Structure 1
Amino acid sequence: MTLTELRYIVAVARERHFGRAAEACFVSQPTLSVAIKKLEEELEVKIFERGGSEVSITPLGEDIVRQAQSVIEQANAIKEIAKRGKDPLAGPLRLGIIYTIGPYLLPELVRHSIEHYPQMPLILQEHFTVKLLEMLRTGELDCAIMAEPFPDTGLAIAPLYDEPFVVAAPAGHPFAQREQISAAELKSETMLLLGTGHCFRDHVLEVCPEFARFSSDAEGIRKSFEGSSLETIKHMVASGMGVTVVPALSVPKEPQAHLRFVPFEPPVPSRRVVLAWRRSFTRYEAIAALRNAIYACSLPDITRLS
């Protein structure tokens, strides 16, 4: 049994496909298939059920894959411990980040990271929260910047900041002349929402639960539209299609010709942004350096957390 074989079975379990797993491991499919068959023969168990294009894991295989992930993680930890002896910050840091934070935090974060920790380049991965949690669990990511709440996965969590929400409205909308807006006033508006899978969509629905009811006769709601990104939704708002709610960091620094951003009345809805990593991750100094780089960003209108 080798670490390479264990990596192969973890890849197949993740991809549910031998071809994609081989690509992810940078080997040919026959090489990967032969290695897995050899491991199954050595263990005298069947790890995968092969049927057409579908690959499923046997119940015993689930336990083996879970243990293989742990072994691979521990093997990587040995390398990380050795690196720490030379330079704790040496080597890339694989950082995940959700779509509604990445475009607004990363430009300044990457600049600070390059300036202060050039020996620790950031390998970045934008995705939904659910996918980032899976990638943390499988060791594909070292850490991730996400917004609470998310399922308790036994990760180490460090709070970064609380970010208030802001209403975005077309320049010609009555809201555009207001100093503040209450959440209740949004009930009668045409609301533009992010599509399913974005955690920020859920945050907006917490502010205005009425928008979770998509039936045409829902009281206080005319209709709603969905967008693929906050920037797309802002363009839709600017064109007069409705209003939306956005996080404070996404508000442009320069005034927008066709778009206005108006604060909420107290209590102001917000989200808590955190940094999460596996408890077994040994590069503590790298996590601390990343947090320092985040806190070095300007982050206007947010509340930093220690």
Structure 2
Amino acid sequence: MPALPTLRQLSYLVELADRLNFREAAQAQHVTQSTLSAGIKELESVLGVQLVERDKRHVRLTAAGEEVVARARELLAAAQDLADIARRAGEPLGGPLRLGVIPTIAPFLLPSLLPPLRQAYPSLKLYLREDLTERLLEQVQGGKLDFALIALPYDTGDMWVRALFVDEFWFVAREDDPLARAEAVAVKAIDPDAVLLLEEGHCLREHAIEACGARGARSGSRVEATSLHTLIQMVEGGLGVTLLPEMTLKAGILKGTRLTARPFAAQAPFRTVALAARRTTPRRRDFELLADFIAAQARASARAGIPAHRRAQPRTR
């Protein structure tokens, strides 16, 4: 492999380009003038091209020197970014972190979670990706994501998974639905064939099927929705009823609709929100810190309760 310029040599050249004076450039770099001059000569030797024209009165860059300086500025800036990233990464929940979140969690949890997270960990640079559970876990295993915020039950294989909080399901229907008039709904009273589901691939679909029983729910749904907001529109259009996680109700998903949410009478079905990482992750400390933070925020949110929009009072537990 041929010899490459060093960052120090490039910094000498950029400093000289800014000042066009060897003495001033050397002072700015905290080296002697001879050291700076030797560094630039070494750079010219490595690159095999003259970068600087020198005489007793003037210093100027050659055409090649101008181009090298432009590239050098980019390289030095990138090197500084790299050093900053590494420095922040050494802090608790610092530096860049790539987090995957499933669509039935992201828009309902993140708006309330991210502001206090940024306040608690100001050096954290969070990059988010929303996708289905299967694809997120594949990206975590492949190293493209650090962690994934998912819902259980789901087969996570040998990944490191920590349960964060329970998210109960509520029954959602139009106001004129007979079950919507009850204070609380018995799971066995729901006709599985009337339950509208998300399309294949969404783990919430499997959670709803499990909650209502398998009596025709897996194949009997006449139409399927691509998102929870589409699901809401379908229920409002009279196509059926559905089950929604408590998280979505707290986020106001039913606001502006004519739908009613009712709790279940006993043994409410639920999903468990969890954080997943590959077992070999070097960010185990960050995993635990983020999990602790999300769990604490969930407890605070639970104390706040569900906005009283067209719903029955939740049970005392």
Q: TM-score range by the shorter chain?
A: 0.5 to 0.7
**Alpha-carbon displacement from aligned partner over 1:34-58 (angstroms, at most 9, x marks no partner):** xxxxxxxxxxxxxxxxxxxxxxxxx
Which one has the largest radius of gyration?
2
TM alignment of 1:79-94, pairs within 5 A: 83=87, 86-94=90-98
Alignment CA distance shift 1:257-1:276 (3 Å): closer
1:232 and 2:236 matched: no
> Corresponding residue for 2:202?
198
Deviates more, 1:129-138 or 1:186-195: 186-195
SS of the counterpart of 1:224?
A: coil
Q: How far is the alpha carbon of 1:83 from its aligned partner? A: 4.4
Deviations 1:265-289 (A, max 9, x none): 2111111111111222222332233
- Percent identical pairs in the alignment equals 36
Does the Cα contact within 8 Å between 1:180 and 1:265 map onto a contact in 2?
A: yes
Give the SS at the match of 1:163: strand
Aligned counterpart in structure 1 of residue 219 of structure 2, from 211, 214, 220: 214
**1:239 deviation in Å?**
2.4
User: What is the letter of the counterpart of residue 285 of structure 2?
Assistant: E
Alignment CA distance shift 1:139-1:184 (3 Å): same
The 1-side partners of 2:297 and 2:155 are apart by 29
Q: Structure 2 regions of 5+ residues with no counterpart?
A: 2-82, 307-317
Cα deviation, residue 188, structure 1: 6.3
Count the aligned residue pairs: 218
- What amino acid sits opposite 2:185 in the alignment? I
Out of 104, 129, 153, which is 1:100 matched to? Answer: 104
Task: Tell me which residue corresponds to 1:284.
Answer: 284
Instruction: Give the aligned partner of residue 15 of structure 1.
Output: none
Q: CA RMSD in A?
A: 2.7
Amino acid at match of 2:245: P
TM-score by length of 1: 0.64
The answer on whether the counterparts of 1:164 and 1:270 sit within 8 Å (CA) in structure 2 is yes
Aligned partner of residue 215 in structure 2, secondary structure: helix
Instruction: Say whether the 8 Å CA contact 1:227–1:233 is kept in structure 2.
Output: yes
Q: Deviations over 1:215-271 (max 9, x none)?
A: 6xxxxxxx5321011111112212222100111111154765501001112111111
SS of structure 2 residue aligned to 1:166: strand
State the distance in 1 between where 2:282 and 2:146 align.
Answer: 10
* 3-state SS, counterpart of residue 301 of structure 2: coil
Deviation at 1:194, TM superposition (A): 0.2
* Superposed CA offset, 1:170-208 (max 9, x none): 122222211111122112662211000001100111122
Match of 1:243 in 2: 241
Distance of 1:145 and 1:197 partners within structure 2? 16
The equivalent residue for 2:301 is: 299
Contact residue 152 and residue 271 of structure 2 kept, 8 A: yes
CA contact (8 A) 2:195 2:217 kept: no
Change (3 A) 1:85 1:145: closer
What is the Cα deviation at residue 94 of structure 1?
A: 0.5
List per-residue Cα deviations over 1:3-40 (Å, max 9, x = no partner). Answer: xxxxxxxxxxxxxxxxxxxxxxxxxxxxxxxxxxxxxx
> d(CA) in 2 for partners of 1:274 and 1:188?
27
Are the aligned partners of 1:180 and 1:264 in contact in 2 as well (CA < 8 Å)? Answer: yes
Q: 1:273 & 1:100 partners in 2: Cα distance?
A: 11
Partner of 1:26: none
Alignment of 1:239-278 (within 5 A): 239-251=237-249, 252-253=251-252, 256-278=256-278
* Farther-moved stretch of structure 1 (198-207 vs 87-96): 87-96
TM-score, normalising length from structure 2?
Answer: 0.62
Q: Does the 8 Å contact 2:106/2:130 carry over to 1?
A: yes
8 Å contact kept, 1:189–1:243? no
